């Protein structure tokens, strides 16, 4: 019975980690949805309106980010949009790493910080990869020799 509990525990931790990595790029729209929903709810509107406002705000945030990131030519604007999506993902990854470390064993404060920041870097790196993979393939050179795209160039 203990072996089954350990196996199911490991499987559930693995599924949790997979869900965190797959949903990392959606941390900013989720935070926006919760903030807008709580603001509308605290303003005295009903719960249904708060949920609809939160979903609309999350969809708008994701739509703007997905449209602005690949279409901008400014490196600064692309960096700001990427940072806006990656910072909440890193915060979520850090908290999940803290929780998993507390489930397995209670580490010292030093190791808890090491585990937390490692989780933040891993989740932010995966979110960056997701953000870059959703990027539209843009030409590497000017329109004259646009036969090679950014994704097909070899170093």
Residue identified by tokens 């929903």 is: 37
Global pTM reads 0.72
Confidence of residue 13 (pLDDT cuts 50, 70, 90): confident
Kindly indicate the confidence band of residue 137, based on its pLDDT and cuts at 50, 70 and 90. Answer: very low
The tokens describing 37, both together, are 């929903």
Q: Read off the pLDDT band of 118 (50, 70, 90).
A: very high
Contact 65, 85 (CB under 8 A): yes
| 47-51, 84-88, 104-108: range with lowest mean pLDDT | 104-108
Pairwise CA distance, residues 152 & 64, whole Å: 27
Q: Does the CA dihedral 72-19-123-120 come out positive or negative?
A: positive
Q: Are 53 and 37 in contact (CB under 8 A)?
A: yes
């Amino acid at each position: 019975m203990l072996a089954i509990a350990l196996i199911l525990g490991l499987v559930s931790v693995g599924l949790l980690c997979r869900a965190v990595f797959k949903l990392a790029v959606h941390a900013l729209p989720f935070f926006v949805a919760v903030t807008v929903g709580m603001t509308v709810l605290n303003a005295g509107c009903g719960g249904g309106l708060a949920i609809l406002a939160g979903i609309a705000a999350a969809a708008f945030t994701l739509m703007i980010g997905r449209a602005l990131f690949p279409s901008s030519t400014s490196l600064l604007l692309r960096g700001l949009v990427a940072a806006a999506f990656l910072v909440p993902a890193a915060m979520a990854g850090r908290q999940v790493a803290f929780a998993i470390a507390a489930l397995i064993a209670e580490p010292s404060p030093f190791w808890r910080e090491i585990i937390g920041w490692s989780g933040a870097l891993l989740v932010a790196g995966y979110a960056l990869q997701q953000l870059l993979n959703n990027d539209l393939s843009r030409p590497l050179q000017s329109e004259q020799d646009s036969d090679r795209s950014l994704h097909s160039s070899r170093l």
